[in-house]
Chains A and B, each alone.
Chain A
């Protein structure tokens, strides 16, 4: 029977994340951006909730919410602040990948990530060029006892300070997706000096060029890891990031709508003008559709993690990210001159959503469209 409603766990986790987003992340958003790092107390609070660090209890973590609850957490943390939410989520991505695919030895290493809030880790998967996991050009050569990784990754969180830095590429013999445990400090890992970006500064995103050799034990899941399942987990990471864009869009629209009900022009709150409210209403329609598409793509992956989900994921992610950019844009527009100054947060959401839209965009999906 068709059912498009979240279950109890998803609802509860979403509500918890929404509340933490509102009370903890939102007030710290400007500080995090200015410092290029999440304030320590905020980081610790988010860390302790376990919402962004999915490590099972038996490995020292706080337990792992279901994948759809994790998706809801990503959206609702970003509803508070996308910059802090994504810093936390991207930091937790390595643990998620290891928890789901790691060898017993690698699982034993999770306790450090789960218990030390100062630890930083990341999964380096984006390459630009619109490539999904099945197309990554990063080469993984398994050569006896060693693994050689060669490639270039962009949009890597905590690029300069991650341990582990999980680099994803393709096996040059089998074509399978592989993930390799490196660190930012490893020989052969060159991190470009980061010039900063339009937004999301707290995640310290950068580009990394890799030509490194490590023992074969660094292969996540070992030499026999299931490449298709690994790819499916990476697809879920992409969907989570896109969910953060949806949460950002939702928040921006709510904020702009609230402003429009109090701002008076031509004798009435501007919300009573269709020219003001309709763009927000359209944004909300898109947001609802985007959210369901992300859930649908996640469900499809969970139903058959061995299948190739690239098309559905790329569609869902591309749509959600463009909805994020367009909704935040329309929200700034609603506030007019007030939207353009930093006294209001919409300009931060506008920058954050556009940064996300450049992170994971496939030129062949979703062509440029003029506004008029």
Chain B
């Protein structure tokens, strides 16, 4: 097979339709969603205007999500870029979350049937609570505790950055059952939102960007759940081999990393595409030398994003082929985010002071984009992983 750097026509048509829709129907709500720190109230009606299937979890769509010859993960990349090209508020409204993915990777068949299948079949959102105020990248530092008390696990501790934590049907909470075991003592619990002791300390954190995404601070105050809510357990205790909670949590995140990179590409491309026609309309105000510099910058920025796209597709193509590569995934997640930030900033600079005004969305996307090099494995963590492909565990 020879190289091909273009998506199949079917996927291209689909994502172009998605991109156009997110731009014309969703982007107009971007500013307000940022101000209100939540999705638009009429989000369902907005999603109803989509000319193609989105994979919504809140209601049945006329058509199922089409499958493309590229495979699931490559298709998702195109999807993430296109939907976020409109604005970041849109894709979390499609529902899902990632808590149930952890259930799928760590749960017993009974747990999967109870907590994964209904969500996958179109249920509500699930939450994921790993990060704590005291740690982010080093997930072995979980201080939230789960203590056995008869037929219950009693959970105590604080969590932050829980996506959808305030309104999820349940949150998968990572806690240590034995601090002396370090990372091996960390495991996951399904905690339904209405459990006594499940406290929403802050419904939505006060953030620099992605303000429309609900990320919650949660507090667990003697929060008791039945034994079988511990993933990998039944009502009478452990079933099967004891899993590594931390490893499973990260496993659930790993394949999603290039998607986050695609999100960053979507925002940076949107910025270039917003700035370009404005700059062209003002061309007469620039000296020929400056105009030529601008044209060069626009070309360089577009080329930089194409480099990032190729790395993304390479990494996810391997996943679809059944041979995922940790280092390629790290390359994809590590490569794009800072360049994306720089592109948005450069677009603001080229436009001058009005480029950073709230008249345009560039200032918002500059704020939004900063998270991409931080969450789901920071740029530093991706560099460690890439370094390990060269020098092994010495990198750190």
Contact = CB atoms under 8 A, between A and B. Distances in A.
Interface in B188-210: 205-209
B351 A128 contact: yes
Given A196-B357, A343-B206, A370-B304, A265 B135 contact: yes
B206 A275 contact: no
A371 B366 contact: no
Given A363-B290, A367-B297, A372 B356 contact: no
Nearest to A207: B354
Interface in A342-370: 342-343, 347, 350-351, 354-355, 357-359, 361-364, 367-370
A108 interface: no
A363 B357 contact: no
B352 A358 contact: yes
A358 B338 contact: no
Nearest to B297: A368
Contacts of A336: 136-137, 374, 378
Centre residue among B285, B294, B304, B356 by max chain A CB count within 10 A? B356
Given A137-B285, A196-B357, A343-B206, A155 B384 contact: no
A361 B350 contact: yes
Contacts, number: 171
B342 A371 contact: yes
Given A276-B380, A343-B206, A367-B293, A128 B353 contact: yes
Contact of B209 (A126, A264, A329, A340): A340
Interface string B128-156: 00010111111011000000000000000
A290 interface: no
B285 A363 contact: no
A199 B352 CA distance: 14
A154 B352 CA distance: 8
A264 B133 CA distance: 11
Interface in B72-126: none
A196 B358 contact: yes
Q: Which of B133, B208, B304, B352 is the most central at the interface, judged by chain A CB atoms within 10 Å of its CB? A: B352
Chain B interface, >50% SS class: helix
B243 interface: no
A281 interface: no
Contacts of A369: 342
Interface string B337-369: 011011101101111111111110001001100
A332 interface: yes
A310 B46 CA distance: 51
A128 B352 contact: yes
Contacts of B208: 332, 339-342, 347, 350-351
Given A341-B207, A341-B208, A357 B289 contact: no
A371 B349 contact: no
Given A130-B290, A337-B160, A343-B206, A361 B356 contact: no
B317 interface: no
Interface in A182-238: 194-199, 205, 207
Nearest to B286: A129
Interface string A305-329: 0000000000000000000010001
B33 interface: no
A257 to B, nearest CB: 15
A154 B350 CA distance: 13
Contact of B366 (A207, A265, A337, A354): A354
A341 B206 contact: yes
B328 to A, nearest CB: 15
B43 interface: no
Interface of B: 131, 133-138, 140-141, 160-161, 205-209, 282, 285-287, 289-291, 293-294, 296-297, 300-301, 304, 307, 334-335, 338-339, 341-343, 345-346, 348-359, 363, 366-367, 370-371, 373-375, 378-380, 383-384, 396
Interface of A: 126-130, 135, 137, 154-155, 194-199, 205, 207, 264-266, 273, 275-276, 325, 329, 332-333, 336-343, 347, 350-351, 354-355, 357-359, 361-364, 367-372
27 contacts: A128-B352, A128-B353, A154-B354, A195-B359, A197-B363, A198-B357, A198-B366, A207-B354, A266-B396, A276-B380, A332-B208, A332-B370, A333-B380, A336-B374, A337-B160, A340-B370, A343-B206, A347-B208, A350-B208, A358-B353, A359-B353, A361-B349, A361-B352, A364-B287, A368-B297, A368-B342, A370-B307
